[in-house]
Amino acid sequence: MANSALLPSNAAAVGPSSSFDTLFRSALFIAVFLILWITFRPFPSLAEPGEVTAAGDLTNQLGYTTVFLMLAGWCLTHDPSRLALLVRPILVVTVLWLVLSMVLLLPRNVRHFSDLLATAVLIVIALCYLGVLFAPGRAIHQATDFVEPELAGDWRGLFGHKNEASATMVLFVFVGLFVARVRRLAVGGLIVASAGLFLLMTYSKTSIAMLPIISKVLGRIRNPVVGIGLALSVLAAFNLLSVGSIYFEWVRNLLDTVLADASFTGRNDVWQFAIDNLLKRPITGYGYSAFWGTEEVVFGLAGNAVWANTAGHAHNGYLDIALSVGIPGSLLVTLWLVVLPLVDYYRCPHEADAAPLQMLFLRVCLFAAYASCFESMLIETGSLGLFLIASAFALRFLSLTHVVL
């Protein structure tokens, strides 16, 4: 297979070529993604109520700061001008997590990227299965969980909730498909099979339903107008079927005829609650990740039968962003993380060997966009939110540089 560099054609030889440099690149890349998926507090106990506090987490602060400084230091000594390619007005306005744009510059080429990503993914999958086998109380939802004991039996692995586990497993399926195409069919197949089985055991309806949709959408459409139009039409349809069901009777009637639970497991109550509060601060919102942690929400609704006071988020990424930074902020983030990655995908050079890499990042962006109509998967500190930002950066980078084949 041809050697496919992730660097601009005029910078392919930049940086040390020693084995130490390759080892350091590889170790740093895998460390970043293991921290992303495993976090500094894996297999959390759900038997106790979550702590409501305004204080930060010192472990997270020290850990993520250290990783950021290591990445920043590496990039400053390895052609830092490449980071300028990622700067665009929408990024300056939204001011978000540059750190993961750096990690994608570590691999020497596409094959190196595939090998490192496969290694990190297989480690996380193995830990999830080991947790299920040897520590089921920390890897499977239990009837003794303080919140949502009704999820008992659903697998969550080393994650704090089955929805985060299921979203991550969908990402791993995409990674497996990528690895199978560009590197090793057997390794890619192992990732797809193991992640797919774990996904099924989470019983997460949103992720399970989205996986086949994302795997097919835009796969063979090369006309940018048709492709972008189709992708955004699907997004609009999902939001209409979800949040729109609160306001349009014909949508509710349609859902009643095709779904056993047209409330999407009570999400309509959460959406209504979120919208009612959003309308009180439609321009500024309540601050980043502030609304669902306020005492009014956590404690003020304790006697209310509505599920919203225990939900922790709006079960809709676009509503959650609006609650944080207002409707204008939600539109900006949607433009940056949904619309512009589609545009960048169609601006990428049409090279057969580069197509799997481009498709990997596009699938991540589409899955986050569509699943966020029913879950909160956009701007968050979870594994999908950060991998989404990395994918958006990657598509931008690939659209502006030539992949050396």
Calculate the CA 144 to chain-centre distance.
Answer: 29
Place of tokens 């409501």: 52
Task: Report the pLDDT value the prediction gives residue 370, as an integer from 0 to 100.
Answer: 93
Number of Cβ atoms within 10 Å of the Cβ of 201: 20
Q: Let me know whether 228 and 373 are in one domain.
A: yes
Q: Give the DSSP letter string of 58-127.
A: HHHHHHHHHHHHHHHHHHHTS-GGGGGGG--HHHHHH---THHHHHTTSSSBHHHHHHHHHHHHHHHHHH
Q: pTM value?
A: 0.78
Q: What's the structural domain count of the chain?
A: 2
Q: Let me know whether 275 and 179 are in one domain.
A: no
Here the tokens at position 156 are 């969550």
Largest CA distance in the chain: 65
Q: Let me know whether 176 and 290 are in one domain.
A: no
Task: Report the pLDDT value the prediction gives residue 63, as an integer from 0 to 100.
Answer: 67
Task: Report the pLDDT value the prediction gives residue 82, as an integer from 0 to 100.
Answer: 65
DSSP label at residue 155: B
Task: Report the pLDDT value the prediction gives residue 305, as an integer from 0 to 100.
Answer: 46
SS3 140: strand
Residue 366, H or E segment: helix 355-371
Place of tokens 């225990």: 310
DSSP label at residue 260: S
Q: Let me know whether 174 and 312 are in one domain.
A: no
Task: Report the pLDDT value the prediction gives residue 346, as an integer from 0 to 100.
Answer: 92
Alpha-carbon distance of 91 to 101, in angstroms, equals: 12
Alpha-carbon distance of 159 to 138, in angstroms, equals: 9
Sign for the pseudo-dihedral over CA of 186, 123, 107, 338: positive
Q: Let me know whether 128 and 240 are in one domain.
A: no
Burial of 299 (0-12, 13-18, 19+ CB in 10 A): exposed
388 near 364, Cβ under 8 Å? Answer: yes
Q: 154, 182, 216: which is the final residue of a domain?
A: 216
Judge whether 6 lies within some domain.
Answer: no
Judge whether 52 lies within some domain.
Answer: no
Task: Report the pLDDT value the prediction gives residue 97, as an integer from 0 to 100.
Answer: 40
Judge whether 318 lies within some domain.
Answer: yes
Q: Let me know whether 180 and 305 are in one domain.
A: no
Which residues, in sequence order, are CB contacts of 55 under 8 Å at separation 6+? none
Domain, as residue range, for 30:
16-46+59-78+109-216
Judge whether 104 lies within some domain.
Answer: no
Q: Let me know whether 227 and 199 are in one domain.
A: no
Number of Cβ atoms within 10 Å of the Cβ of 40: 12
What residue ranges of the chain have pLDDT lower than 50? 1-5, 7-16, 52-56, 92-101, 302-305, 405
Judge whether 233 lies within some domain.
Answer: yes
Alpha-carbon distance of 308 to 319, in angstroms, equals: 13
Here the tokens at position 57 are 């987490």
Q: Let me know whether 310 and 371 are in one domain.
A: yes
Task: Report the pLDDT value the prediction gives residue 292, as an integer from 0 to 100.
Answer: 73
Q: Let me know whether 397 and 338 are in one domain.
A: yes
Written as one letter, the residue type at 12 is A
Task: Report the pLDDT value the prediction gives residue 53, as an integer from 0 to 100.
Answer: 47
Here the tokens at position 212 are 């086949």
